[in-house]
Amino acid sequence: MGQYLLSTHAATGGAPQGAPTSPEQMQEFMARVIALEAEMDETGTFVFGGALAGIDAATVVQDRAGEALLTDGPYVEAKEHIAGFYIINAADLDEALAWGRKAAAATNHAIEVRPFHATGKVADHMPQAGA
């Protein structure tokens, strides 16, 4: 069993196709996300996750010859950006992809699935796959 990152990608500069546009649609969206997270939790898949603030809140920090260079916005200009993520336990890539499909259906966002390896202090505090 391994851990996988399911990163949620949203469109930049406007609502993505299928995005909630009314309070009722937002309630339906949140109900799907809550159901997905409950299913992940019930099956022991869910490790942790979170939503990110919008790209207007992003600041990129780079080291330039010992000096910090701060830039507003995401690191790269793109039509999509990472909006949130889940770290999950999955037996293999096929199982992780199945959860990715469920997350895509719940959010109407593209979901990138990648193996995840906690490092440093995070690894010491992470629930281990299969534990």
The length of the chain in residues reads: 131
- pLDDT, position 77: 66
Alpha carbons 93 and 74: distance in angstroms, whole number? 28
Question: Domains of the chain by range and CATH?
Answer: 2-125 (3.30.70.1060)
- pLDDT, position 13: 63
How would residue 100 be classed by pLDDT, with cut points 50, 70 and 90?
very high
Q: Looking at 36-40, 78-82, 104-108, 127-131, which range is the least confident one?
A: 127-131
pTM of the model as a whole: 0.78
Contact 89, 129 (CB under 8 A): yes
Looking at every residue in the chain, the average pLDDT score rounds to: 85
Tell me what percent of the residues of the chain surpass a pLDDT of 70: 83
- Tens of pLDDT along 30-65? 999 999 999 999 999 999 899 888 888 888 888 899
Alpha carbons 38 and 58: distance in angstroms, whole number? 29
Per-position b or e across 49-84, b if 16+ CB within 10 A of its CB: beeeeebeeeeeeeeeeeeeeeeeebeeeeeebbbb
